Each structure stands twice: as structure tokens, then as C-alpha cells.
């Protein structure tokens, strides 16, 4: 074998034409490290850009606080709620669909005689695509641009409203008052959420252009009387229940070992979720979730305004439930779990899979129980019995529970105190909460 032959096992040396020897594995390692450093640098630049765009409100904290203090409390709450609602429907891109149906409704005055051009015949699939999705890219660009404007604009405001102006007193409002996402994870969730927005806008732009160009595949209708007023009323609870139950199972399936490790684990990077964790999801799971949420439109006819209101409600509570703030359900929402329900899901991983109806977890035995331990490596929503846990696991569980805020629970009383013996001594402490 010639002395300068470069082939050989990893780690072998070869003679350079000019003399001297180079270890192949060392050379390869240097290239790998250099490439890795470049990736880290690029990611750091992206995260810094995200910080600059999103956390603008921190620079104007004093000015915002002065203006906010002049507003009546009720007005401030209403403004924040409207901001959450708008942020919710734009963060996934659905606003474009609602805008298109509003345009069609105004254009036709909700006429029951209005018909989509579903009977039109096309010579080829290409023909069909060109006609039905004419203007798609323009629509997608507008949808994405406006969504980003709202995402970073209102998102920056909500970041200030919820997390900056009251950061000095977390025990009054935070579900996990002693624990915070690191600045790196805050930027990371916003970066992933920004990516999800692109996919959401792509889906909504496709549906919007299809509808504008006369297509009919979804059962959103314009005239409230088209299917009768009884169905107009009944469709709201029925579609809402169907949608939430499908979402429960979609979420639960993504907590099986393979799907969790390869997709959903990204979302659980944020153990102390914020309002911006709601769309920080793997792109595959995000698209799948959107398909689940839209599936009702391919099953039954739904009045467009009813659907817009339902989705607004779902997205509003999606943000609230990920906020990490001790929001409680209102008296008229007996089905709706408090924010701590989903915060527990992020803190304890494989439990509390429901979203807007907590009954599904009671029905299927996946509701958090006081005598069970839940960890990232314990799957299927049943947890581990305390009697089967090791001393270290019990100690870890006790410390984890101490980080929860009693004020986030009904009647401000913590419901998961432990009173178990660890190493011959009783651990867990007395009941926590305020009277």
C-alpha cells in the first residue's frame, strides 16, 4: 500500500504530499466541532433577533406602567382579554379563514341562494389546482405577515402585562411561583411558535383561497337559516364537545412513548409554560392538531360565525391554560378546568390530557390523583402508586409539590398535600392555602 494512501480505518494516519502526518479522526473531529460552533452561533443570532422583536415591551416598562396605571381596572382587564383573543386566532393563522367568510357574508348578504361552484368540471388536477388555489401565494404572504405583526406586537404587550409588570410578586399570581423558564427557553418557545405560525398560515391560506375561488369541501355555511334554527343552536355544544374529545385523544396519543419522544417532547421542554408555549409544538404535531380541530367541518354543516366564536374560545383558553397564571374558570363555565389543570400537565407530564372539558380525564382515569407519582418516564396517564415508589422518588415528589401555588386551586386550598413516612419520619407537611 502506498504511504500516502488516504484510505484506511478511522484514526489511522496518512502522509501528506508535503510531508508530516495527520490523524483522520482528529481532522474529522475538528471539522465537526467547527460545524457545530457555526450552528450554535447561527441559533444564537436567531434567538437574539427573537428577543429584539418580541421583548420590546421590557424597554418601555416604565412608560407602559404609567399609561396602564391611569386606566380603570375593568378597562385594563378588557384590553388584555381582547389582546389574548386576537393573539390566539392569529397565532395559528385561522383569522384569514374568518376574514374570508365575513367578506363572503357581506358580499352575498348571507343569501340562502348563494352556491359554491362545486359542479364545475376540470380537465386535469393541474387545472383544478390553478383555479381553486389562484392567488394562494399572495394570500399566504399576507396571512403570514399580518400574523407575525400581531404575534410580535401583541405578544410583546402580553409578555409585559403578565410577566414583567408583576414579576416581583409571583406568589400572588403564578402557578409555580418559585420556578421560571430560563431566558434561553423563553426565546426558544417563541422561535418554535413563530415556525408553527408559518404552517398555520399555509393551511389557512389554502382553505381561504379554495373558498374564495368557489370550492366546496368544508361545510361552513353563510346563511343562519340554511339548516334550520334548531341546528343553528344545537351545533355549538355538539361540535364543541366533539372537537374537545378528539383533541383529548390526539393529545393522549402523543403521550405514548414513540410519539412523545420524537414529537411531543419538544412542547414539554417548557415545564413552566407561558402563554407563548401554546404554539411551541413540533411542526408534524402542529399540522396534525390543526387537522383535528378542522375535522368537524368535513363531518357536519356549521354556521361560519358559530365556528369563529368556538375557535376564538378554544384559542383564548389555549393561551390562558398555558399562561402559568392562576386563572380560575367563571361561574358560567362548569366544564372548564382552571389554569392549574394544564399547568400540572406540564409539571408532571403524562396526566391531565384534556383541554376545555376536564370530564374526559375523569372518565378515562387520567386525572391527577393525590396518591400517585407522575414523572416524564411514567407513561399512559396512570402514574405510579405511592406504595411502589422509592424513597428518593417520594422525596422528589414532595419537593415538586411544594413548588405549586395553593392560590391556583379552588377556594385557594392546595389539594395534593402528602402525609407519608419517608425513612421513619413523616413528610409532606400541613395543609397549605389561604382561608
Task: State the DSSP H helix or E strand holding residue 431, giving kind and residue range, or none if neither.
Answer: none
Q: Convert the pLDDT of each residue in 281-316 to its tens digit.
A: 999 999 999 999 999 988 999 999 999 999 999 999
Q: How far apart are CA 400 and CA 238, in angstroms?
A: 38
- Contact assessment for residue 415 and residue 341, using Cβ atoms and an 8 Å cutoff: no
In the chain, where are the structural domains located?
A: 57-326
Q: Which three three-digit cell numbers place residue 203?
A: 393551511
Q: What pLDDT is stored for residue 217 in this prediction?
A: 65
Per-residue pLDDT for 235 more than 70?
A: yes
- Comparing CA positions, the residue from 116, 304, 130 lying closest to residue 212 is 116
- Contact assessment for residue 143 and residue 96, using Cβ atoms and an 8 Å cutoff: yes
Number of C-beta neighbours around residue 65 at 10 A:
12
Per-residue pLDDT for 200 more than 80?
A: yes
Chain centroid to CA 145: how far?
20
Q: What pLDDT is stored for residue 238 in this prediction?
A: 97
Q: What pLDDT is stored for residue 22 in this prediction?
A: 43
Number of C-beta neighbours around residue 8 at 10 A:
11
21 versus 143: the higher-pLDDT residue is: 143
Task: Return the minimum-mean-pLDDT range out of 240-249, 359-368, 372-381, 412-421.
Answer: 412-421
Half-sphere exposure of 187 (CA within 13 A, CB side): 16
- Comparing CA positions, the residue from 234, 364, 249, 369 lying closest to residue 303 is 234
- Average pLDDT of span 258-265: 98
Number of C-beta neighbours around residue 373 at 10 A:
20
Chain centroid to CA 202: how far?
17
- Contact assessment for residue 135 and residue 208, using Cβ atoms and an 8 Å cutoff: no
In order, the DSSP letters of 236-252 are HHHHHHHHHHHHHHHHH
Per-residue pLDDT for 340 more than 90?
A: yes
- Contact assessment for residue 272 and residue 324, using Cβ atoms and an 8 Å cutoff: yes
- Comparing CA positions, the residue from 301, 304, 313 lying closest to residue 102 is 304
Q: What pLDDT is stored for residue 21 in this prediction?
A: 44
- Average pLDDT of span 319-327: 94
Q: Convert the pLDDT of each residue in 109-136 to its tens digit.
A: 666 544 555 546 677 888 888 888 999 9
Integer-rounded Cα Rg, in Å, for the chain is 26
pTM, to two decimals:
0.83
Using pLDDT thresholds of 50, 70 and 90, give the confidence band for residue 8.
very low
- Comparing CA positions, the residue from 31, 34, 32, 27 lying closest to residue 13 is 27
Q: Which three three-digit cell numbers place residue 213?
A: 375561488
Task: Return the minimum-mean-pLDDT range out of 2-6, 25-29, 261-265, 406-410.
Answer: 2-6
- Average pLDDT of span 64-87: 89
Task: State the DSSP H helix or E strand holding residue 213, giving kind and residue range, or none if neither.
Answer: none
Per-residue pLDDT for 405 more than 90?
A: yes
In order, the DSSP letters of 76-97 are HHHHHHHHHHHHHHHHSSTHHH
In order, the DSSP letters of 159-206 are HIIIIITTTT-GGGTBSSTT----HHHHHHHHHHHHHHHHHHHHHHHH
Task: Return the minimum-mean-pLDDT range out of 124-128, 321-325, 429-433.
Answer: 429-433
Per the prediction, the chain carries an average pLDDT of 84
- The b/e string for 316-344 (b: 16+ C-beta within 10 A; e otherwise) is bbbbbbbbbbbbbbeeeeeebbbbbbbbb
Which residues make beta-bridge pairs with 422? 425
User: 338: which DSSP letter?
Assistant: P
Q: How far apart are CA 15 and CA 5, in angstroms?
A: 8
370 versus 57: the higher-pLDDT residue is: 370
Amino acid at each position: 500500500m502506498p504511504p500516502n494512501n488516504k484510505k484506511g480505518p478511522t484514526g489511522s494516519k496518512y502522509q501528506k504530499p508535503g510531508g508530516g502526518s495527520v490523524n483522520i479522526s482528529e481532522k474529522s473531529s475538528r471539522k465537526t466541532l467547527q460545524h457545530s460552533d457555526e450552528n450554535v452561533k447561527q441559533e444564537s443570532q436567531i434567538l437574539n433577533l427573537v428577543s429584539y422583536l418580541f421583548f420590546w415591551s421590557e424597554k418601555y416598562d416604565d412608560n407602559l406602567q404609567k399609561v396602564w396605571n391611569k386606566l380603570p381596572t375593568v378597562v385594563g382587564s378588557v384590553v388584555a382579554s381582547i389582546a389574548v383573543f386576537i393573539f390566539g386566532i392569529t397565532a395559528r393563522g385561522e383569522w384569514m379563514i374568518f376574514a374570508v367568510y365575513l367578506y363572503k357574508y357581506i358580499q352575498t348578504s348571507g343569501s340562502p341562494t348563494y352556491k359554491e361552484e362545486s359542479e364545475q368540471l376540470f380537465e386535469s388536477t393541474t387545472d383544478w389546482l390553478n383555479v381553486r388555489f389562484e392567488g394562494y401565494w399572495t394570500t399566504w404572504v399576507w396571512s403570514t405577515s399580518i400574523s407575525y405583526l400581531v404575534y410580535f406586537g401583541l405578544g410583546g404587550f402580553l409578555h409585559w402585562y403578565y410577566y414583567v409588570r408583576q414579576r416581583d410578586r409571583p406568589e400572588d399570581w403564578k402557578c409555580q411561583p418559585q420556578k421560571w423558564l430560563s431566558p434561553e427557553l423563553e426565546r426558544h418557545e417563541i422561535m418554535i411558535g413563530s415556525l408553527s405560525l408559518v404552517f398555520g398560515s399555509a393551511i389557512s391560506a389554502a382553505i381561504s383561497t379554495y373558498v374564495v375561488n368557489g370550492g366546496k369541501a368544508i361545510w361552513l355555511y353563510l346563511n343562519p337559516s340554511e339548516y334550520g334554527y334548531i341546528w343553528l343552536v344545537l351545533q355549538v355544544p355538539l361540535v364543541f364537545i366533539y372537537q374537545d374529545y378528539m383533541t383529548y385523544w390526539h393529545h393522549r396519543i402523543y403521550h405514548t412513548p414513540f410519539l412523545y419522544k420524537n414529537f411531543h417532547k419538544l412542547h414539554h421542554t417548557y415545564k413552566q409554560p407561558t402563554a407563548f408555549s401554546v404554539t411551541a409544538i413540533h411542526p408534524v404535531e402542529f399540522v396534525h392538531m390543526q387537522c383535528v380541530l378542522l375535522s368537524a367541518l368535513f363531518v357536519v354543516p356549521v354556521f361560519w360565525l358559530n365556528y369563529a366564536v368556538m375557535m376564538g374560545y378554544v384559542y383564548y383558553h389555549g393561551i390562558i391554560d398555558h399562561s402559568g397564571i392562576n386563572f380560575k374558570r367563571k361561574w358560567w363555565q362548569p366544564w372548564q378546568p382552571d389554569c392549574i389543570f394544564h399547568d400540572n400537565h406540564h409539571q408532571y407530564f403524562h396526566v391531565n390530557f384534556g383541554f376545555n372539558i376536564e370530564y374526559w380525564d375523569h372518565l378515562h382515569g387520567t386525572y391527577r390523583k393525590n396518591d400517585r407519582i407522575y414523572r416524564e418516564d411514567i407513561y399512559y396517564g396512570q402514574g405510579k402508586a405511592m406504595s411502589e415508589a422509592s424513597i428518593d422518588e417520594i422525596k422528589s415528589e414532595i419537593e415538586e409539590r411544594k413548588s405549586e401555588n395553593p392560590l391556583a386551586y379552588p377556594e385557594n386550598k392546595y389539594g395534593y398535600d402528602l402525609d407519608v413516612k419517608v425513612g421513619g419520619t413523616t413528610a409532606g407537611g400541613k395543609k397549605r392555602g389561604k382561608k
